[in-house]
Structure 1
Amino acid sequence: MMTRISLAAMAACALLLGACAAKPPVQTPVLVQTPPRVVVVADPQLTELLAYQSALRLMTPSELVKAQLDLAKADHAPHNTLRRAMLQAALRGPGDLARAQASLEPLATATGKDAQLLAPLAQLLGSQYAELRRQEESIDKLNTQLRDAQRRIDLLNEKLEALKNIERSLSVRPAAGAPK
């Protein structure tokens, strides 16, 4: 009988210990919001224009001039207008960014099918060229201020040297009351 009682006691103890054990914490599910998926169908014309823009960055000045001559022979289709603007901006001569930006303005508001497809790219490039123009104007302004400051420094240095020369040329006078 002892064994039955001890087995029953052990089983009761095991049940009591199991009931006293800590319950695992309940985890609340975390909802992660994923951004909506955007499916972009790349237009071959846009892909080609972006590749052309990348190629322009790697061209030497002589290659840019050759590309300009080749593009001058092309028609005035919207994608060629974009190419001309990209090439004009890559040349970076005086006024080139302004001309590139001006050539993109009609394309940004055009109504043709090809032009409407290219309008967002034209607007993006136009805003980038405008920002580049603002940066170049700021750089020119700062360079002008630097040249003016350097001229003032040079002028002040010349005056200082002249004063030093005058000081050196003066003979040393004996102090008052000193024996002659």
Structure 2
Amino acid sequence: MSNILKARRECFIVQENWDLPETDGMEFDQYDTPQSRWIAVHKEGRVLAGIRLTPTTAKCGMYSYMIRDAQLGLLQSIPVGILYDAAPVAEHIWESSRVFIAQDVPAADRGHIQKSLIGEMVHTAQCNGASEILALCPRAWKRWMRMLGYETEHVGPPLEIGGTVNQAIHMYLRPALH
């Protein structure tokens, strides 16, 4: 677990220069609770990519999950207008957050790593009863999910966060109909 938190720090705090909490060389926040699941792609002990999954039914003190809490105005770094509609709270919907691929992963390996990461995300979500995932991610994610065969839709406006245009997407964990 500590290796993924260290890799997140390297990606989000060191490379992206995001203002996030860190301690002992690790990045973590109020959503890293026992209710969440963490997925990592690694090679020889080094984390190359990662994702955090959190149920939309999660509760930890005054917090639930990142997208909903942003919409409720609890997070200053993410606009309240993140979604077109109210954030869902349902056992079959999980949130994906803190998605990253290490910056030094060679371009030739990125597609394979991304496919592995998303495959494990889907598998983990389904094993925990999810049939849908909500995420705030770079706009390209929608296209990537479709390329991997999953139906997705944008469910919020494009937002510039941390120097990247992000958008909330809703992903259905059943293969897309062609």
State TM-score, norm by structure 1: 0.25
Structure with the bigger RCO (C-alpha within 8 Å, sep 6+) is 2
Higher-strand-fraction structure: 2
Q: Choose 1 or 2 for highest CA Rg.
A: 1
State TM-score, norm by structure 2: 0.25
